């Protein structure tokens, strides 16, 4: 204890001397406290939904001396006390939502950090393209909200041209640790066809702008399989095939178009509907009908150079209404209209490991009975049963593909709905094959619906779940995972 006293006594003169030598002139100002209340520790925001947040700021400082800032990371959202803001995209980092009150005189900042979660209502659901030229979205997320014009809300612009189709594809985003991501592809013939970010529906590009030089009007694309084979086929209104290639080292935006693919000397007019063939992404081929030369054609889907070649020697006059198959199958089916009649073709392909090529031929075809199909019919090949579903007017039918020699008896009446069936498909999920969710669009003057129905014939189209209230007639829809 005595030692401690001695040490302190020894230091006291030094401290005193220090005080005597400090002759600075200081203006001591009392620090004004600012208290921020009325904000929680976390907040959950939904894309495209307006946020209106007003905190309580308690201080003796005049308001004219205060500055307010809302930000996420380095991005400033607003510079007023009340946050009136709508998130258009999910932030790319885990930075909090920060509210700052700044004393403009002293530049002292008073901060409140709020853990921020921004969720997308477009993660899962139905993307729906209507005859009014609008892209709606029926969300499967909490609340299951229907966005009647999701494209307009997300991009503050309208779609242009005649609506043809909307499709979804998935890809591994190499620029983001190969996280699985999605895009939506909208075909607007005669206008601009946009590709949309699958999380926000924000437009990433117009396909026409990705061509160098004169771009054709797009009539069709093969978006569904894009993530599997890094090839994206586009059929132009000129009947030529253009392919966008994307390596595994980037995103779809890193791809480039090859235009057009080579063909026979006479040229060709490929119908705006194609089927993908092959058991994997390594031997994938694409096929369609050459309506100019009246035969099916074949080209390789994942090569930087490919040739559209005629397949077989069977003459196939007419117009292709639909072509498709089960995913990763080596055969396909086609519905062709010729001289007022409708024909169903089976086209089978065989891959040669000797020549590393695909060869194919028409193995069967027949005339469909009257009333089974018309020009407005839509089709969907079952993924786990041998049936081709057909929507003609209000009638849902199924064709037994194992009985093509007697098509009159192969056509089965399944159910009649309270409106026109305008689109249908088995929902495609590359991580879950076969996918047994079967959905149809039913359009009426009072509005349209999408219904998930039982795909088994014995259940006669029983409705498992339905989503009503879609404005306009549905042209195309897709299930987004």
Whole-structure pTM value: 0.87
Half-sphere exposure of 257 (CA within 13 A, CB side): 20
**How far is Cα 148 from Cα 307, in angstroms, rounded to an integer?**
42
Task: In whole angstroms, give the CA distance from residue 119 to residue 89.
Answer: 9
- Give every residue of the chain whose pLDDT is below 50, as ranges: 1-30
Would you say 325 and 277 are in contact if contact means Cβ atoms under 8 Å apart?
Answer: yes
Q: Where are the beta strands (DSSP E) in 174-294?
A: 179-189, 194-197, 203-206, 218-221, 231-236, 241-245, 256-258, 275-277, 285-290
End-to-end CA distance of the chain: 76
- The Cα diameter of the chain in Å comes to 119
Asked if 322 and 384 touch (Cβ cutoff 8 Å), the reply is: no
Radius of gyration of the chain (CA): 31
Q: For residues 438 and 453, give the distance between their C-alpha atoms in angstroms, rounded to a whole number.
A: 6
Task: Count Cβ atoms below 10 Å from residue 322 Cβ, excluding itself.
Answer: 20
What's the confidence (pLDDT) of residue 356? 67
Q: Are 96 and 450 in contact (CB under 8 A)?
A: no
Q: Can you tell me whether residue 154 is helix, strand or coil? A: helix
> What is the model's pLDDT at position 105?
93
- Nearest residue to 316 via CA among 294, 333, 334, 291: 294
For residue 85, count CB atoms less than 10 angstroms from its CB and return exposed for 0-12, middle for 13-18, buried for 19 or more: middle
| CA separation for the pair 402, 326 (Å, rounded) | 14
CA pair distance 192, 199, nearest whole angstrom: 21
- What's the DSSP call for residue 2? H
Q: How many residues would you count in the chain?
A: 481
Q: What pLDDT score was predicted for residue 168? A: 94
DSSP code at position 465: E
112: nearest Cα among 124, 102, 126 = 102
Distances (CA, A) of 263 to 195, 289, 290, 357: 28, 13, 11, 17
Contact 243, 258 (CB under 8 A): yes
> How far is the C-alpha of 328 from the C-alpha of 225, rounded, in Å?
10
> What does 425-448 look like in DSSP terms, one character per residue?
EEPP-TTSSS---EEEEEEETTEE
Position 231 scores a pLDDT of: 82
Q: What is d(CA 391, CA 374) in angstroms, rounded to the nearest whole number?
A: 9
3 state DSSP class of 249: coil
DSSP secondary structure code for residue 215 in this structure: P
Q: Quick check: bond before 434 cis, omega within 30?
A: yes
């Amino acid at each position: 204890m005595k030692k401690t006293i001695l040490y302190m006594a020894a230091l006291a003169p030094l401290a005193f001397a220090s005080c005597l030598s400090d002759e600075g002139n200081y203006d001591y100002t009392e620090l004004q406290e600012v208290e921020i209340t009325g904000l929680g520790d976390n907040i959950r925001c939904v894309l495209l939904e307006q946020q209106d947040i007003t905190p309580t700021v308690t201080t003796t400082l005049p308001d004219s001396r205060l500055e307010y800032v809302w930000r996420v990371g380095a991005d400033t959202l607003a510079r007023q006390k009340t946050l009136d803001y709508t998130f258009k995209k999910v932030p790319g980092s885990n930075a909090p939502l920060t509210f700052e009150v700044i004393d403009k005189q002293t530049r002292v900042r008073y901060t409140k950090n709020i853990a921020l979660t921004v969720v997308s209502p477009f993660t899962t659901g139905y993307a729906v393209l209507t005859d009014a030229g609008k892209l709606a979205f029926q969300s499967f997320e909490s609340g299951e909200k229907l966005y009647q014009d999701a494209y307009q809300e997300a991009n503050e612009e309208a779609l242009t041209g005649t609506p043809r189709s909307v499709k979804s594809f998935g890809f591994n985003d190499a620029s983001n640790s190969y996280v699985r991501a999605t895009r939506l592809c909208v075909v607007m013939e005669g206008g601009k066809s946009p590709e949309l970010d699958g999380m926000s529906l924000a437009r990433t590009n117009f396909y026409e702008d990705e061509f160098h030089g004169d771009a054709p009007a797009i009539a069709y694309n093969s978006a569904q399989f894009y993530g599997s084979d890094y090839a994206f086929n586009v059929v132009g209104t000129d009947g030529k095939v253009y392919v966008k290639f994307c390596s595994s080292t980037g995103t779809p935006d890193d791809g480039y178009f090859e235009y057009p693919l080579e063909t026979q000397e006479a040229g060709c007019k490929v119908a705006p509907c194609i089927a993908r063939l092959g058991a994997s992404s390594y031997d994938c081929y694409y096929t369609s009908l050459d309506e100019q030369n009246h035969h099916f054609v074949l080209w390789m889907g994942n090569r930087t150079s490919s040739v559209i070649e005629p397949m077989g020697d069977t003459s196939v006059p007419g117009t292709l209404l639909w072509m498709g198959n089960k995913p990763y199958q080596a055969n396909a089916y086609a519905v062709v209209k010729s001289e007022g009649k409708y024909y169903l073709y089976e086209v089978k392909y065989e891959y040669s490991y000797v020549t590393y090529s695909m060869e194919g031929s028409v193995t069967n075809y027949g005339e469909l009975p009257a009333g089974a199909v018309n020009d407005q019919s839509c089709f969907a090949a079952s993924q786990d049963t041998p049936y081709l579903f057909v929507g003609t007017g209000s009638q849902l039918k199924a064709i037994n593909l194992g009985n093509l020699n007697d098509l009159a008896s192969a056509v089965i009446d399944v159910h009649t709905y309270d409106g026109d069936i305008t689109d249908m498909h088995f929902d495609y999920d590359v991580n879950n094959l076969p996918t047994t969710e079967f959905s149809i669009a039913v359009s009426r003057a009072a509005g349209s619906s999408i219904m998930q129905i039982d795909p088994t014939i014995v259940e006669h189209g029983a409705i498992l779940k339905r989503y009503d209230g879609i404005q306009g007639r549905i042209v195309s829809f897709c299930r987004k995972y």
